[in-house]
Structure 1
Amino acid sequence: MVIAEMRSGFAAIGDTQFLPGYCVLLPTKPVTSLEELNFKKSSEYLLDMSLIGEAILKVCSPRRVNYSIYGNTDAYLHAHVFPRYNWEPIERIPYPVWQYSAENWRNAKYHYSTEKHGELREKLSNMIYELMAEAY
């Protein structure tokens, strides 16, 4: 599911794609929080997170991108990068994606598969590498 090796870690396409283009950034070195990284490393991580968001904007054309780092349930650093779309139900738009019903997260029709999402994965990968070439 890795789509790009970045300066700070690995961009991966999300395991569920009910919001097409959802990605995760995993650090190269496992840490429990962003604050465990020194300033240079945390800056690189946040830059990489923004590059993933920019790639999602260019490839998927959402109305915006949401970024989140929690670590409350899975106590290791990882960043979620979610596209948000105009076609989402109006009642969902003002709320975080985590408030979508469990059906969206667990439904097999949204699970990542190469057959359904391989082309999207490849486009995101190519765009991330293109953006990294400009940014680094």
Structure 2
Amino acid sequence: MTDPTCKACQGIWPQADHFITDLGLSQAYLHEDQFFKGWTVVVFRRHATELFQLAPTERMQLMEEVTLVAKTLAQVFDARKINYELLGNQLPHIHWHLIPRLATDPAPLEPVWRVQHEPIQPPAHELQASIERIKDAMAKLR
């Protein structure tokens, strides 16, 4: 099922060149803002806005997929903590924000949404290098 008004269903968000991997029920992408290095979004493949709209088996599999990405990000970026955000207020389509919080974090006690910063959009070669590091590490965990 798709929603013709949904940016995720239309394929215009996240950006195609930020694609990391297909996980089964979801897909992982590097977030366009890499101020928090490794910030990744896991996007449910079909349109749904709430976890209770998923079959129990889908919820379990989706959580396994989110967990795999989180574990991978923790290893690749040597994260002290991973933040998990499932909001959907601005984009009503199930998607998780997984944000590695590093030792160099400028505001370790604040949610990322409250940290004032200029977005960092890395050049294409850095973006691809990060994607490859994540893919390689994830392949070892699968």
* TM-score normalised by the chain length of structure 1: 0.85
1:100 corresponds to which residue? 115
- The answer as to whether partners of 1:3 and 1:10 remain within 8 angstroms in 2 is yes
Q: How far does residue 79 in structure 1 lie from its aligned partner after superposition?
A: 0.3
User: Aligned to 1:58, which of 58, 75, 85?
Assistant: 75
Q: Confirm or deny that 1:30 pairs with 2:39.
A: no
Instruction: For 2:130 and 2:62, locate their aligned partners in 1 and report how far apart those are by CA, in whole Å.
Output: 23
* TM-score normalised by the chain length of structure 2: 0.82
Instruction: For 2:118 and 2:63, locate their aligned partners in 1 and report how far apart those are by CA, in whole Å.
Output: 27
More helix by share: 1
Instruction: For 1:126 and 1:28, locate their aligned partners in 2 and report how far apart those are by CA, in whole Å.
Output: 22
Q: Confirm or deny that 1:41 pairs with 2:58.
A: yes
Task: Tell me how large the CA RMSD over aligned residues is.
Answer: 1.3
**What number of residue pairs does the alignment pair up?**
125
Q: Which amino acid aligns with 2:52?
A: E
SS at match of 2:118: helix
Unaligned runs of 5+ in 1: none
Cα 1:43–1:19 shift into 2, 3 Å: same
1:78 corresponds to which residue? 95
Q: How far does residue 6 in structure 1 lie from its aligned partner after superposition?
A: 0.3
Q: Deviations over 1:6-38 (max 9, x none)?
A: 022101111111111110001121211222111
Unaligned runs of 5+ in 2: 1-17
